[in-house]
Amino acid sequence: MIIKDKMKLQEKCSPVSIKEGEEIGVRLLHELREAKNGIGLAANQIGINKRVCVINVKEPLVLINPKIVEKSKEQFVFAEGCLSFPDSKIKTTRHQDIVVEADNHEGKLSFSANSKNIDDAFECVCVQHEIDHLDGITMFDREFKREPIVKGVNAPKKIGRNEKVTITKGTESKVLKYKKAQPMLEDGWTLSIS
């Protein structure tokens, strides 16, 4: 049975011994195979709040007490699904490269979406998705945020680079040239056209 209750999936999982983790890993791989259309599963998705997850993109991979120890600044947008939310598919932002440590793997595991093989991207996203589950984070928390919505009567309209615009963030507001405002829009500022 795969848990579909978002509240339950927001709880953090606790560390586990390698022995118990391996047993949970076997159950997870079994559940994942039963689910047919999934590529990864975390223990809390089957009601076990322990830090174990499995990924099955290129080959079955069990991660016990996994930790992301390095992540690239470069991110990319990916369309994700989740066995707990079978009717949802959302665009998320994920790190392009990550390095993971897990108690059942010696050394470090590297995953990179910067590859000609699309399976590498799937695997890289899946590892981040499953480790998130163990921290009570779902894909909805990683949703890709579009450009801020342009407010105004006749929005959207074409704005010239040198045109003065008003941008706001919380209670602050500034008037400046659009070309200077543009980079700030990625930093939480919202454009308002009067």
Q: Which residues are catalytic?
A: 130
φ/ψ of 79, rounded to 5, equals: -90, 115
Regarding 57 and contact with Zn ion (CB under 5 A), the answer is no
CB 105 within 8 A of CB 87: no
- Provide the residue count of the chain: 194
Task: Find the shortest distance in angstroms from Cβ 84 to Zn ion.
Answer: 5
CB 25 within 8 A of CB 62: yes
- The beta strands (E) that lie in the chain are given as 40-42, 52-56, 60-64, 67-71, 75-80, 90-95, 97-101, 109-112, 164-169, 172-177, 190-192
Q: Which is nearer to Zn ion, 127 or 181 (CB)?
A: 127
Task: Find the shortest distance in angstroms from Cβ 129 to Zn ion.
Answer: 5
CB 181 within 8 A of CB 191: yes
Q: Which residue is nearest to Zn ion (CB)?
A: 82
Q: Which is nearer to Zn ion, 126 or 181 (CB)?
A: 126
Task: Find the shortest distance in angstroms from Cβ 12 to Zn ion.
Answer: 15
Q: Which of these ranges, 77-85, 151-159, 167-175, 180-188, lies near Zn ion under the rule CB under 5 A?
A: 77-85
Candidate residues 82, 125, 134, 191; the one interacting with Zn ion per rule CB under 5 A: 82
Residues near Zn ion (CB under 5 A): 82
